[in-house]
Chain A
Amino acid sequence: GQSLEQPSEVTAVEGAIVQINCTYQTSGFYGLSWYQQHDGGAPTFLSYNALDGLEETGRFSSFLSRSDSYGYLLLQELQMKDSASYFCAVPPDNTDKLIFGTGTRLQVFP
C-alpha cells in the first residue's frame, strides 16, 4: 500500500520561511504533488515534482528526492493568508487518482 507522512503542525511568523516535509512509501512512483486547503474549503494545487530537484513557483517551492522517498514544500515570505493545511499527494498507480498525506496544519502568527 501507500503511505505519506507529514508533521501534524508547523508554526511560524509573518515574513519567515517554513519547510513542510513529506516522506512516502509507494509501490511505484508517478510524481509528488502539493495542495493547500483552507478550513472548510477545497484543496488547491500548488506544485508538482516528477523528477529530483527543486521546482519554484513564486513564494512556494517544492523539492523531491526519489532515492530518499522524500519531498518538501518550502514557503517563503510567509503571510497570514498562508495559514492553512498542506497535503502532499501521490498517484498510487499510473492513473489520475491521488492518495493524500496525513497533512500539516500551518499557523502563521503576526
Chain B
Amino acid sequence: GAVVSQHPSWVICKSGTSVKIECRSLDFQATTMFWYRQFPKQSLMLMATSNEGSKATYEQGVEKDKFLINHASLTLSTLTVTSAHPEDSSFYICSGAQETQYFGPGTRLLVL
C-alpha cells in the first residue's frame, strides 16, 4: 500500500508559539490530502482538505487563520498551528488519497 509520513512524530511547545507539521506521500502523488485531529479516546475529526496548488477547504468550526495549511507540491502538505494554546494539544493525523485514504503515523502535539 501507499506510504504517508509525518514529521515530527511528537512536539512540545510553549503557549503562543507556532508549530509546523509536515505530511509527505512517499510513493505516490497526492493531489488531495486531509488533516484530522484526534483527542484522547475520541474519534478522528476532519479539520480540512488540502488541495495541491490551491487553498485548503476547512470544515465547519475549524479556524482557518489558526490552522494554516499549505499544499505546495503533489507530495507535501503542511499544517501550521499558529499561536498554539494548551487546548490545541492533540494528535494530528494526515492522509493522502489514492483510491482509498492512507494515513500518516500522526503527530502528537503538547502545548505547555
A interface residue numbers (CB < 8 A to B): 33, 40-45, 48, 87, 95-103, 105
- Residues on A with beta carbons closer than 8 Å to the beta carbon of B44: 43, 87, 100
- Residues on A with beta carbons closer than 8 Å to the beta carbon of B34: 96-98
- Residues on A with beta carbons closer than 8 Å to the beta carbon of B103: 42-44
Given contacts A43-B44, A100-B45, 10 further A-B contacts (CB under 8 A): A33-B100, A40-B106, A42-B93, A42-B104, A42-B106, A95-B49, A96-B97, A97-B34, A97-B49, A102-B43
Q: How many A-B residue pairs have CB under 8 A?
A: 44
How extensive is the interface on chain B, given as a class? 20 to 34
Distance in angstroms from A40 CB to nearest chain B CB is 7
CB <8 Å contact, A98 and B106: no
Nearest neighbor of A4 in chain B, beta-carbon distance: B43
- Residues on A with beta carbons closer than 8 Å to the beta carbon of B93: 42-43
**Alpha-carbon gap, A44 to B104, bound state (A):** 10
